[in-house]
Amino acid sequence: EHFFSIFLEKNIHFVALYPFRPDFYKKMGFGYGPKIYQYLVEPLSFPKGPTKKHLKYLTIEDQQQLIDCYNRVAAKKHGMFLKTTSEVSFIFKNIENYVIAMEQQGTVQGYIVFSFKKQSDDNFMLNNLVIKEFIYETPQALLELSTFLNSQADQVNRIEWNTQEENVHFFLGDVRNGTNQLIPSVYHASAMSGVGLMYRIINVKGFFDELKTRNFNGVTLTLKLIVMDSLLVENSQQLIIEAVNGTINILESGSYDVEVSIDVAELSSLIMGVVTVQELFMLSQITVSDEHYLQVLQHFFFVIEKPTCLSAF
């Protein structure tokens, strides 16, 4: 409650946290963010490109280049926080970290922060490479950095990559994790997944007022949104949202086409694009007064890109 009051006083309507227990914070009105996928693949699973001539190791003197690259990616990618100087300094101050970058025409276009993890106390040559941060602006930067990882085949056993990108298995070669486990009927064990970052709207009306500059996919619709919030009682709100060609306005009263009832946790995940109206409806997490409007609501709330967050806080 203190956390909420701090940000409500600052006129901030949307917050995020990492949960010590997801189910606990779910009951507190926080909605799930994107899953993370932990791949454990052989180095040769990373594609080998035609060159790695633009690669170089970065030092703390190059930290501004790293910040600029990261922040350019963050500005274009839904859900990411901008990186601070102190965050970058921590990367370079950790003596276990290595930073390799793809630089072209004096600009860093991608980089990997990585370290090594011992796999045996008896054999110092058995190590895994652990990717701590993998940022790339262009396909060329990704492929050149991938070429570096591919070249580690004689140095490391496997590469651990934690990513929120759902479809990197299209990029990698052999995505199996080495367990040889089969999931019925014939699905090969690859990435382990986990839930973490959670989102919460703490002022529903204030949040939708901020979204008046966003286009809701060109949809024309008037809906009554009933939001339940068991913790922040003042946030249990009913809004009539009028959308004309995707531009919304909040009405004090009037008629509407459809009524939607939803808990603030699911609304927070929905509005961020983590889950869709159709999925929530099938899972009994949303109530719609007229099911004929499901497709329109699906289109209204649809977010092209799921959120990504690489920041630790």
Question: What are 11-60's pLDDT values in tens digits?
Answer: 999 999 999 999 999 999 999 999 999 999 999 999 999 999 999 999 99
Q: pTM surpassing 0.75?
A: yes
Q: What digits encode the pLDDT tens for the residues 178-232?
A: 999 999 999 999 999 999 999 999 999 999 999 999 999 999 999 999 999 999 9
Q: If you average pLDDT over residues 244-273, what whole number do you get? A: 97
Q: Is 198 left (phi over 0), alpha (psi -120 to 50) or beta?
A: beta
Per-residue pLDDT for 124 more than 90? no
Strand partners, 248: 243
Q: Answer yes or no: do 44 and 174 share one domain.
A: yes
Q: What whole-number distance in Å separates Cα of residue 89 and Cα of residue 158? A: 28
What total of structural domains would you count in the chain?
A: 2
Q: What whole-number distance in Å separates Cα of residue 84 and Cα of residue 64? A: 10
Tokens of 81: 């926080």
Q: What is the largest CA-CA distance in the chain?
A: 74
264 assigned to some structural domain: yes
- pLDDT bucket at 126, cuts 50 / 70 / 90: confident
- pLDDT bucket at 118, cuts 50 / 70 / 90: confident
Boundary-marking domain end, from 152, 171, 194? 194
List, as one string, the DSSP characters of 10-40: TT--EEEE--SSHHHHHHTTPEE---EEEEE
User: What does the pLDDT read at residue 313?
Assistant: 87
User: What does the pLDDT read at residue 9?
Assistant: 96
Q: What digits encode the pLDDT tens for the residues 137-167?
A: 999 999 999 999 999 999 999 999 999 999 9
Tokens of 72: 């350019």
Boundary-marking domain end, from 159, 194, 229? 194
Which range of residues forms the domain containing residue 251?
203-301
User: What does the pLDDT read at residue 199?
Assistant: 98
Boundary-marking domain end, from 145, 167, 194? 194
Q: Answer yes or no: do 175 and 236 share one domain.
A: no
261 assigned to some structural domain: yes
Cα-based torsion angle of the residue sequence 214, 199, 17, 28 in order, rounded to the nearest 10 degrees: 140
Contact, 101 vs 110, CB < 8 A? yes
Which of 218, 294, 205, 290 has its CA nearest to residue 13? 205
Q: What whole-number distance in Å separates Cα of residue 310 and Cα of residue 306? A: 13
User: What does the pLDDT read at residue 123?
Assistant: 77
8 assigned to some structural domain: no
Q: Answer yes or no: do 51 and 183 share one domain.
A: yes
Tokens of 227: 């939001």
Per-residue pLDDT for 259 more than 80? yes
Q: Answer yes or no: do 57 and 168 share one domain.
A: yes
Q: Answer yes or no: do 102 and 246 share one domain.
A: no
73 assigned to some structural domain: yes
